[in-house]
Amino acid sequence: MSWTINTPVKGFTGEVAGVMFKDGEGVSDTDPAYFRRHGYTVQVTATPSEENADDTEEKEASDDTESVEDTDPGKSSGGKTAPKAGK
């Protein structure tokens, strides 16, 4: 799960408890209890099922790219094929 965390000091840029903030906003995938206790606003940005869906989409896109490269070996070598070993 990921959280968007907003600092109590508007526009803050820097690091707090291992989370980088830019213009008062940071993202963390660790427990945001520290931030809640210290007055930060915490919102859920992704649930585990959404994160898995993103991983699946990225893998599918990656698989498509690899299969295109595998079926057209001439493109990767500039249109020339490599000589076979022993010839």
Mean pLDDT by 10 residues, the chain (87 residues): 95 97 97 96 81 56 48 52 60
Q: Show the tokens assigned to 65.
A: 């790219």
pLDDT of residue 78: 54
**What does the alpha-carbon distance between residue 47 and residue 1 come to, in Å, rounded to a whole number?**
5
Distance separating alpha carbons of residues 17 and 70, to the nearest angstrom = 45
Q: Nearest-CA neighbor of 7 among 31, 17, 21?
A: 21
